[in-house]
């Protein structure tokens, strides 16, 4: 019988050992697989762009010089505009010609301009001071289940050329834009006048645009060779004119009348501007010069309205020959010195370079930026496929200050979406990392003293019967869903703090002083401690809190005009938000306290009693024994508890979402909100486009959180082992 029991026990021990081992290995593998999955999702951000030549063919249509190209988004139909104004529709992949559209006016074409890339509008300037706007339109159908794209040209303002110059001088330079209810034509005449024609438009009953009002302005007069390039902002707010002396004149054309804001030298002395284009959205201006330098300029509003240089890109090996911008992103390609280079403007990142067989005449992106079409000086057209899914990403763009369009200075910004189509995504993780650490810092400042001192009192001073009630109660708090704490903090506690801010802040001083005063005035606690003193302190703490609130209300009424948050802003410039770091720190502190308390209390209670008894027998007081012996011996467990609590605070989500304003800013102000990485992932992941840059950067934030929490837990275990080894030798 005993042999049978022994065998059964051995089988059970083996089975349990196998189950525990398999479970432990499974947990390790699960953690490793999570790490591998996050790395796989983030890795494509670091893959370089690729450009592959897919087709080469002679220029379609007439052999005259090309002025520009337009492509449909599926790369099935392209439009080539030549020097005679003829538009040739062709297949970009093969060069096959579909149809030709002759120029609407028989006059000689003197100038050409592409409007905003997404509008597919171009303008032709003629010798009689007239111009015409043309739009390339593409229709998609699916006969027999196969995609078919057809192209056609349309004259949105009519085929009859518009009179831009009443004097009838030739328009030698041109810039055009067409919006839903307005249009603009910026023209430089043969006799040296810069004219701006502003048109107000409205739809008629047939759905066609009609001109309701025309306004003609003369912006500048000078020698006929004074201006070399023109650019017109799509919303018709700003206009830019490049001068032969290497400067750009910046005009505010939204003013009535339009005004010259500034003349800015944009190239080095002795150089001249060879290319100028507006980036997608029309806010920034790209300027290429004869030295091979390309710079990005944009209007800023402070300290005064001016044109500022945001960044300079790596110098090219020769004069800039051509510039092409993407339709919807802040990317561009520059051709210079026999090399075409692909850039991301915001990230200031060179993505790809390819050699060219001959200098370029024209360069144009496909709408989806997945191909580029270029024509060389040998009258050959080339189509190159581009794989460049994440140009906005770079480690510098994620962590460093970036000067974004529309801002007055470089900043670290997270703003992933907007209602505007020309919005520039901002993927700075620095504000999110700062918010994560800020939340953890304030939570730990609140939680560590309460949890560790509470654990020390519970384990060393509290009566056993009371400890048997208090410890499980606090540990049960750990199971409380954090969404409840976040809900209470955002809906109830945040308004309470705002109404009673002086009293809440005063509790930090009032409550400790009141407890010390009661302890000093009650000799029985010092002479005959029973371990139940905390029960009598509870009403004292409640009374102290009420006293602090009452005093705070009186102080606020007497010294702060009965509104401390408003006084802080008016007098000290400290902005107060209702859902702020103070509220989050207290709420997260309550979420972290049970973890730190439980582990710390176990560590302190586990110190052998004979060590404390020996210390007391040698004449040490209880406080001396606690501080110099018990806490030192239990320090491995206490530090582990703090590290584990820190890891939980870093990864907390629901409290941060519900109890703070979720504003991604870098500000140590305790009265302002923030946005943590975990909250940002929870808020934006459901809305992120799968496999987009936004989507993968959210996974990158998750990977960083994983690494940080893993590092905290690993460090906690290492410290615990090290300290345990040191104190075990004493």
Instruction: Return the SS3 of 292.
Output: coil
Q: Which structure tokens are listed for 702? A: 């998750």
- Mean pLDDT calculated for residue range 47-75: 90
pLDDT at residue number 528: 60
CA distance 520 to 697: 57
* Cβ contacts of 50 within 8 Å, gap of 6 or more: 352, 386, 387, 388
Q: Which structure tokens are listed for 671? A: 């009265």
Instruction: Indicate the range of 126-135, 143-152, 473-482 predicted with least confidence.
Output: 473-482
Q: What is the pTM of this model?
A: 0.87
For residue 709, name the pLDDT band (cuts at 50, 70, 90).
confident
pLDDT at residue number 619: 79
Instruction: Indicate the range of 132-146, 314-328, 519-533 predicted with least confidence.
Output: 519-533
> What is the 8-class DSSP label of residue 411?
B
- For the chain, domains (ranges, CATH) are 50-392 (2.130.10.10), 430-728 (1.10.3720.10)
Note every long-range contact of 180-184, with CB atoms under 8 Å and residues 24 or more positions apart, other chains counting.
182/236, 183/133, 183/156, 183/157, 183/236, 184/232, 184/236, 184/239, 184/253
User: Which residue has better confidence, 517 or 259?
Assistant: 259
Q: Is the predicted pLDDT of residue 419 greater than 80, yes or no?
A: no
pLDDT at residue number 421: 52
- Mean pLDDT calculated for residue range 583-609: 87
Q: State the CB neighbour count (10 A cutoff) for residue 165.
A: 22
Q: Which residues pair with 114 in a beta bridge?
A: 122
pLDDT tens for each residue of 627-655: 888 888 888 888 888 888 888 888 888 88
pLDDT at residue number 105: 66
CA distance 644 to 639: 9
- Mean pLDDT calculated for residue range 111-121: 89
For residue 184, name the pLDDT band (cuts at 50, 70, 90).
very high
pLDDT at residue number 417: 76
How high does pLDDT run on average in the chain?
Answer: 87
Identify the CA nearest to 265 among candidates 250, 282, 283, 253. Answer: 250
Contact criterion met (CB below 8 Å) for 134 and 122? yes
């Amino acid at each position: 019988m005993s042999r049978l029991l022994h065998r059964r026990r051995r089988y059970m021990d083996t089975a349990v050992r196998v189950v525990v081992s398999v479970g432990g290995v499974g947990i390790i593998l699960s953690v490793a697989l999570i790490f591998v999955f996050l790395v796989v999702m983030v890795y494509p951000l670091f893959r370089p762009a690729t450009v592959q030549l897919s087709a080469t063919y002679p220029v379609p249509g007439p052999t005259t010089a090309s002025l520009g190209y337009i492509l449909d988004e599926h790369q099935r139909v392209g439009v080539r505009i030549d020097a005679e104004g003829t538009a040739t529709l062709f297949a970009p992949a093969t060069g096959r010609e579909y149809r030709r559209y002759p120029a609407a006016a028989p006059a000689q074409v003197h100038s050409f301009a592409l409007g905003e890339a997404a509008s597919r509008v171009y303008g032709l300037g003629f010798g009689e001071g007239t111009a015409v706007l043309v739009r390339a339109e593409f229709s998609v159908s699916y006969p027999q289940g196969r995609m078919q794209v057809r192209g056609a040209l349309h004259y949105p303002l009519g085929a009859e050329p518009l009179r831009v110059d009443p004097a009838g001088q030739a328009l030698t330079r041109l810039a055009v834009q067409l919006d839903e209810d307005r249009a603009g034509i910026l023209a430089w005449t043969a006799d040296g006048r810069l004219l701006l024609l502003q048109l107000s438009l409205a739809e008629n009953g047939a759905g066609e645009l009609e001109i309701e009002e025309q306004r003609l302005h003369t912006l500048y007069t000078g020698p006929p060779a004074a201006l070399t390039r023109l650019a017109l902002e799509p919303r018709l707010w700003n206009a830019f004119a490049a001068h032969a002396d290497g400067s750009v004149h910046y005009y505010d054309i939204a003013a009535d009348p339009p005004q010259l804001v500034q003349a800015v030298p944009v190239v080095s002395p002795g150089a001249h501007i060879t290319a100028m284009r507006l980036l997608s959205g029309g806010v920034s201006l790209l300027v290429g010069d004869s030295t091979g330098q390309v710079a990005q300029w944009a209007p800023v509003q402070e300290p005064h309205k001016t044109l500022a240089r945001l960044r300079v890109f790596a110098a090219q090996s020769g004069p800039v020959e051509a510039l092409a911008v993407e339709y919807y992103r802040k990317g561009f390609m520059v051709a210079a010195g026999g090399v075409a280079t692909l850039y991301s403007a915001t990230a200031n990142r060179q993505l790809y370079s390819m050699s060219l067989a001959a200098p370029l005449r024209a360069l144009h992106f496909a709408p989806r930026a997945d191909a580029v079409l270029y024509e060389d000086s040998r009258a050959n057209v080339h189509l190159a496929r581009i794989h460049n899914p994440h140009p906005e990403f770079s480690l510098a763009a994620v962590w460093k200050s970036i000067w974004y369009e529309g801002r007055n200075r470089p900043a670290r910004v997270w703003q992933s979406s907007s209602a505007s189509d020309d919005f520039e995504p901002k993927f700075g993780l620095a504000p999110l990392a700062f918010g994560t650490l800020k939340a953890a810092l304030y939570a730990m400042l609140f939680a560590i003293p309460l949890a560790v001192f509470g654990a020390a009192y519970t384990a060393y001073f509290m009566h056993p019967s009371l400890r048997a009630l208090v410890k499980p109660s606090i540990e049960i708090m750990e199971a409380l869903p954090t969404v409840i704490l976040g809900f209470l903090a955002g809906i109830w506690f945040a308004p309470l703090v705002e109404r009673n801010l002086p009293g809440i802040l005063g509790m930090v001083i009032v409550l400790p002083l009141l407890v010390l005063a009661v302890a000093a005035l009650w000799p029985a606690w010092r002479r005959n401690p029973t371990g139940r003193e905390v029960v009598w302190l509870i009403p004292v703490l409640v009374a102290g809190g009420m006293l602090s609130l009452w005093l705070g209300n009186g102080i606020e009424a007497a010294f702060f005009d009965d509104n401390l948050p408003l006084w802080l802003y008016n007098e000290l410039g400290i902005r107060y938000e209702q859902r702020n770091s103070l509220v989050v720190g207290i709420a997260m502190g309550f979420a972290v306290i049970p973890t730190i308390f439980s582990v710390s209390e176990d560590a302190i209670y586990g110190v052998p009693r004979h060590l404390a008894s020996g210390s007391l027998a040698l004449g040490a007081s209880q406080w001396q024994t606690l501080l110099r012996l018990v806490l030192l011996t239990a320090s491995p467990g206490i530090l582990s508890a703090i590290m584990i609590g820190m890891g939980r605070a870093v990864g907390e989500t629901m409290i941060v979402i519900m109890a703070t304003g979720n504003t991604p800013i870098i500000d140590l102000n305790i009265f302002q909100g923030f946005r943590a990485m975990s909250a940002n992932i929870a808020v934006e992941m459901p809305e992120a486009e799968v496999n987009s840059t936004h989507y993968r950067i959210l996974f990158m934030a998750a990977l960083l959180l994983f690494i940080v929490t893993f590092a905290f837990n690993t460090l906690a275990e290492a410290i615990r082992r090290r300290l345990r080894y040191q104190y075990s030798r004493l």
